[in-house]
Structure 1
């Protein structure tokens, strides 16, 4: 039925296929990708599909949802795509899907529910998943912590802060780290985090950089070699400072909080992945209540001076020195950084960062606020404004081959939704993919879904799954939708 609806919508919308362009469709130069080693974090360059009119690539629904999970709503972190398949993590299962048929290619049962994932994938299609350990509950309140031996590779390792209150005793700990091949579903290795008595979701964070998987849980951190799962280093929190989390990709940034929670002091460090040795340290100004790591290279921070909403973006150079500040007036831009159920550090997926510019979407406050603004990373000044269509906001997704790929949802359920390609130099817009999305799925809100573009395909995956309570889809939860060029 979904495939039929897609076809109908695309046929109806065929008369407006080029309505999203600015003049004739430009003929883009063929993008080139730098050859990467298997352990590099994937940095693909998207080529325009042969046709912007999309076909269905993946349609994944969880039937008999409540019977399987035993509750109405389930958190569902984890969605990835490779050249070969789409992978979805739900509960204690990873599933891979072939393109075009929506048939399950493979299914891998995990040792516990998924509690955190990373969006980063290696050049050869591997990624890390943090799992809850069944039966591994926190210690009772008041129980003294065991003393920890000092690691030879971490001179700054300190004892835990005993004054911290215990977490909800009914929650399970996120103490298992597994490394998977997304193309086959094969688990390559799995380890238990050392001394992770307080590694609770969503305060546990996993990320990757070249050859290294790093995990932090506010009371400690550890890193492992990708190839064999061998521990590289570990660090424990002290009464003064602790690692809140890491941002991966080309580099590895650590967010460190010092002081108490009422008057925190933050610093960001670029660390050597294999040793945790800091290469530089940037001290965030006092008065900041929260820090998010938007990008590791170029280094971009999002900070909040009041509450959880981002008030400023800060850019740093390759030595960790301050470059510029970009003001984020309240209610003006979409940052989508605060996700209390899905991590607290590397979470700003509504801000796209390129080598020289970053891109922000205006808020949906009024129909006139439908645009994306680009900012120079060196000066913090506005470079260009990309206007959307009336009543149709646009959201930046990723920078690829020097162009920005952005999502524009449908405003009426009839005209197609679109991913468009924007040229930062000229402001010109060209269609990338045009497709229909049934309203009942509720996947058009980027603040509630992961949106992935990879190898000419676009995927939508809700961060929470809930079963339909009536109608022909009663009892079914819509888990993922993917489209590809015809």
Structure 2
């Protein structure tokens, strides 16, 4: 499994809080003028402190350096079998937790940011019909890895202690929303199952329960460029997060540098713009059916003197109206606490960090639950969508004890609890319903993917259904469980199955590479005997579910545009929904959006690919880069 370079070293977490434990836990159980490709995206939220992550591997995707034929995969490649559940750690003695530990220092040292100059989205001046250009640049994976590592180091934030405050948005300059007609539309909210972040398109990421596919098969899948948004210009040595993208029936919304902009999804016309005082750290992968979601952002722009202000601002956004509904802050004395994770479930916005978690009503901003003085555990983060799932951390820093809890979004009441075994320091929520968690057991995933195993858990009882071994040398999925509990790529869940990309391996042609998507049963952990094959010099990545069918993105050979496929959940028959232009300028731009890090949204014949950060690192003078590339049927 591969992913962008890991965050820098962390500090031990301090005692925190989470939802009230009202019942005891149950037993464990990317047109002419397109620029050259960009480097892989860096993590978009300033992470807290944590142990050093394992080394990285070169970036995913074609074209590559002239390859050496890799060794053949061992027998059974791409088909892990169910592994026995881990043994639960011994019960903690009375008073087990964090008392006596030194508090986490706020504001860890970081390399300096440059001052961010003002900018705005300008409509492209180039014609929208793609034309071939000679000498197109190809992606240099090794350079990109170095650039991404520098970017990752530039994004560090500390923690704090919770004190809740709130504010309205009516008369603040940094809270204004200029709207020119962004109305109507609904979140998809009907697709069964879920997909990993960056590969999730359920109108911003809701998980639904429809048993029928909603995507229509076009008579002609050939696409054209609908619009593109130029990458924001940033100062030298500056990297700014632009994380967050959402899609409703009438609005495509995307985070820029200290702003969120709503676009007409067909024309690219700006419908509204919400200015923020600082960069967006993270946007929820989920939205309600009426187009409401939540974000984390910094209270000010980074400067040389203050490279980070922490992701302390929590806000609800009405995507259809283009308004910020409310803002909440969390302070430690005079300093704000920085959160790592935000999600939406059941009309609730939940935030988590090493200092714990809390929840607010998405419509009103009312605090739904708060920390308790007696808490010795903390909610590191939450997975949202159809259900709300907490990753709760107890125990000492050196010997953590993780609990996966399904909780009521309104009350915080624990519905079920699964205690993970020893040797698991971090976990990621891949899907909240059915509940699937990924973890790196014993730090055995040596590529930094954060996954060695998947855990299928019963939401109602908290019992382990099965544990699925997923060796990192065979599978391309990745999760950032250290800083973002709900940040997984190359994996989707639906039909009570886990759909996962394999790593690239030898194809049938000389020097060719390919991969597959395989399906595993969440009840038994075994493969279901089906797989989707990308073909030579191509790769497949799961995006999300469409009823019983899997929506996947196919990255083709160097001379062919990407495709969106619908894979039948029963027969695994592939149907082409979209195929992008194959001119060199378009190819270069599309290939700058890597499936394992870019945000990729697809619905009803429209594909949106966007970057999660803006940076001058690795940028060549005169090179044109894009924040968003939108494709649609002819």
TM range (shorter): 0.7 to 0.9
TM-fit CA distance, 1:350: 1.8
User: Counterpart of 1:232?
Assistant: 368
Distance in 2 (alpha carbons) for counterparts of 1:426 and 1:403: 10
2:322 aligned with 1:185: yes
Distance change (3 Å), C-alpha of 1:388 and 1:136: closer
Which residue in 1 is equivalent to 2:382? 246
Does the 8 Å CA contact 2:539/2:556 hold for their aligned counterparts? no
Q: Is 1:327–2:495 an aligned residue pair?
A: no
- Superposition map of 1:89-238 within 5 A: 89-134=255-300, 170-193=307-330, 199-200=337-338, 204-235=340-371
CA contact (8 A) 1:315 1:325 kept: yes
Q: 1:294 to 1:6 in 2, by over 3 A?
A: farther
Once the 2 structures are TM-superposed, how far is the Cα of residue 432 of structure 1 from its aligned partner?
A: 1.0
Residue of structure 2 in register with 1:379 after alignment = 524
Residues 272/469 of structure 1: CA separation in 2 closer, same or farther (3 Å cut): closer
Question: Using a 3 Å threshold, how does the CA distance of structure 1 residues 237 and 84 change in structure 2: closer, same or farther?
Answer: farther
The CA distance in 2 between the partners of 1:463 and 1:77, in whole Å, is 4
Q: Which residue of 2 aligns with 1:356?
A: 496
Q: Name 2:146's counterpart in structure 1.
A: none
Quote the residue 1:366 is aligned against.
506
**TM-superposed deviation, 1:296:** 0.8
- Asked if residue 461 in structure 1 is aligned to residue 610 in structure 2, the reply is yes
Give the match for residue 159 of structure 1.
none
Which residue does the alignment assign to 1:485? 633
- 1:42 and 1:121 in contact (8 A); partners too: no
Per-residue CA deviations over 1:239-263 (Å, capped at 9, x if unaligned) read 8421100101111101011122222
1:7 is displaced (CA, Å) by: 4.6
Deviation of the 1:82 alpha carbon: 1.4
Q: Structure 2 CA distance, aligned partners of 1:442 and 1:266? A: 38
More relative contact order, 1 or 2 (CA 8 Å, 6+ apart)? 2
Which of the numbers 568, 571, 580 marks the counterpart of 1:426?
571
Within a 5 Å distance, the mapping from 1:214-363 to structure 2 comes to 214-235=350-371, 240-307=376-443, 308=448, 309-318=450-459, 319-338=461-480, 343-363=483-503
Answer yes or no: is the 8 Å Cα contact 1:269–1:278 preserved in 2.
yes
Backbone CA RMSD of aligned residues: 3.0
1:336–1:70 Cα change, 3 Å? same
List runs of 5+ in structure 2 lacking aligned partners. 1-30, 33-125, 133-187, 193-202, 508-512
- In structure 1, list runs of 5 or more residues that go unmatched: 10-30, 138-167
1:455 deviates by 3.7
Q: CA distance change for structure 1 residues 112 and 8 in 2, over 3 Å: closer, same or farther?
A: closer
Distance 1:214 1:32 in 2: 19
Alpha-carbon offset, residue 112 of structure 1: 2.5
Whole-angstrom CA distance in 1 between matches of 2:481 and 2:415: 29
**3-state SS, counterpart of residue 478 of structure 2:** coil
Shift of 1:417: 1.1
Q: Is the 8 A contact 2:501 2:518 kept in 1?
A: yes
Q: Deviations over 1:441-481 (max 9, x none)?
A: 5434212311112343211111222358446x43x541011
Residue 405 (1) aligns with residue 551 (2): yes
The whole-number CA distance in structure 1 between the counterparts of 2:535 and 2:373 is: 49
2:225 aligned with 1:56, yes or no?
yes
Give aligned pairs, total.
422
Confirm or deny: 8 A CA contact 2:259 2:275 kept in the other structure.
Answer: yes
Q: Is the 8 A contact 1:117 1:130 kept in 2?
A: yes
Q: Deviation at 1:269?
A: 0.7
Offset of 1:116 from its aligned partner?
1.8
Query: What is the deviation of 1:33?
Result: 4.9
Helix, strand or coil for the counterpart of 1:438? helix
Tell me, yes or no, if the aligned pair for 1:58 and 1:97 is still in contact at 8 Å: no
Q: TM (normalized to structure 2)?
A: 0.62
Following the alignment from structure 2 to structure 1, what is the Cα–Cα distance between the partners of residues 259 and 302? 19
Query: With structure 1 as the length reference, what TM-score do the two structures score?
Result: 0.79
